[in-house]
């Protein structure tokens, strides 16, 4: 969502309109509270010091550290307010209360939304991922298998197979490292055939210069040789590896 808003932001002189609807949805996911002040759409929260932090939902996306009333004076002054010389200075120059604008403000809201997420997990979460993956494999549901593999890959820090280990029509994930010589080490690795709906796991590291072992990997992928772990047991292996992180 933040990227969609970012794509809508042009240079100040471009006349482009910020995607306010997506920005509003992003703000609704945060702890900012909406308030209509005069003709302004304000989203208000408090910082660590208890001071109010206010984002004005317009093309500037300015974040202010002041009061809603002060923002209204500066952004949407009334005629009688303009008659006051002190107010004119405030209206002409808001640098004393503006924290950020545009892209910088968007970055702040995005990070605050991310910080609110609970990314902790326990063994029951891992068991649920394993269960969903196994059921998807049994039902030949490719998207479900890929989703469970992707979740385990995120938890284990697995990467997509580099070029030396890629096989067409196969989704391959594994632990990736690099030797000082430049040789890539890949494994343990899971190999999922999206055509035949088969899942195999090789529980060892294979070097990118080791042609014999790479050929062995290809034979396993093509079902010409057995893997050390096959089928739903691959999900069990991934669950147990991920569980080591929370013990």
pLDDT for 12 beyond 80 = no
Mean confidence (pLDDT) of the chain? 94
- Asked whether residue 95 falls in the same domain as residue 21, the answer is yes
Q: What is the pLDDT of residue 13?
A: 72
- Asked whether residue 135 falls in the same domain as residue 239, the answer is yes
Residue that finishes a domain, picked among 115, 147, 177: 115
How would you write the chain as a 3-class SS string?
CHHHHHHHCCCCCCCCCCCHHHHHHHHHCCCCEEEEECCEEEEEEECCCCCEEEEECCCCCCEECCCHHHHHHHHCCCHHHHCCHHHHHHHHCCCCCEEECHHHHHHHHHHHHHHCCCCCCCHHHHHHHHHHHHHHHHCCCHHHHHHHHHHHHHHHCCEECCHHHCCCCEEEEEEEEECCCCCEEEEEEEEEECCCCEEEEECCCEECCCHHHHHHHHHHHCCCCCCCEECCHHHHHHHHHHHHHHC
pLDDT confidence band for 145 (50 / 70 / 90): very high
The count of domains in the chain is 2
Residue that finishes a domain, picked among 115, 133, 161: 115
Residue that finishes a domain, picked among 83, 115, 147: 115
The string of pLDDT tens digits covering residues 164-221 is 999 999 999 999 999 999 999 999 999 999 999 999 999 999 999 999 999 999 999 9
pLDDT confidence band for 83 (50 / 70 / 90): confident
- Asked whether residue 144 falls in the same domain as residue 202, the answer is yes
- Asked whether residue 128 falls in the same domain as residue 82, the answer is no
- Asked whether residue 165 falls in the same domain as residue 103, the answer is no
Q: What is the pLDDT of residue 15?
A: 74
pLDDT for 246 beyond 90 = no
- Asked whether residue 238 falls in the same domain as residue 127, the answer is yes
Domain range holding 105?
Answer: 2-115
């Amino acid at each position: 969502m933040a990227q969609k808003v970012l794509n809508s932001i042009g240079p100040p002189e471009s006349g482009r309109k910020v995607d306010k609807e997506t920005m509003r949805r992003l703000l609704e996911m945060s702890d900012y509270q909406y308030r209509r002040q005069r003709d302004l759409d304000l989203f208000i929260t408090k910082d660590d010091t208890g001071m109010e932090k206010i984002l004005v939902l317009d093309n500037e996306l300015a974040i202010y550290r002041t009061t809603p009333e002060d923002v209204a004076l500066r952004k949407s002054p009334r005629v009688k307010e303009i008659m006051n010389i002190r107010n004119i200075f405030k209206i002409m120059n808001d640098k004393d209360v503006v924290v950020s604008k545009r892209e910088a403000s968007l970055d702040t809201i995005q990070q605050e939304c991310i910080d609110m997420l609970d990314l902790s997990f326990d063994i029951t979460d891992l068991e649920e991922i394993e269960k969903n993956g196994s059921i998807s494999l049994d039902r030949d549901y490719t998207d479900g298998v890929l989703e469970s593999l992707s979740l385990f890959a995120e938890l284990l820090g697995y990467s997509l197979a580099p070029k030396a280990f890629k096989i067409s029509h196969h989704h391959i994930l594994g632990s990736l490292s690099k030797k000082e010589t430049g040789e890539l080490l890949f494994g343990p690795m899971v190999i999922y055939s999206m055509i035949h709906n088969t899942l195999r796991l090789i529980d060892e590291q294979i070097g990118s210069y080791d042609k014999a072992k790479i050929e062995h990997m290809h034979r396993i992928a093509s079902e010409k040789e057995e893997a050390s772990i096959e089928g739903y047991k691959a999900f069990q292996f991934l669950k147990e590896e991920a569980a080591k992180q929370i013990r």
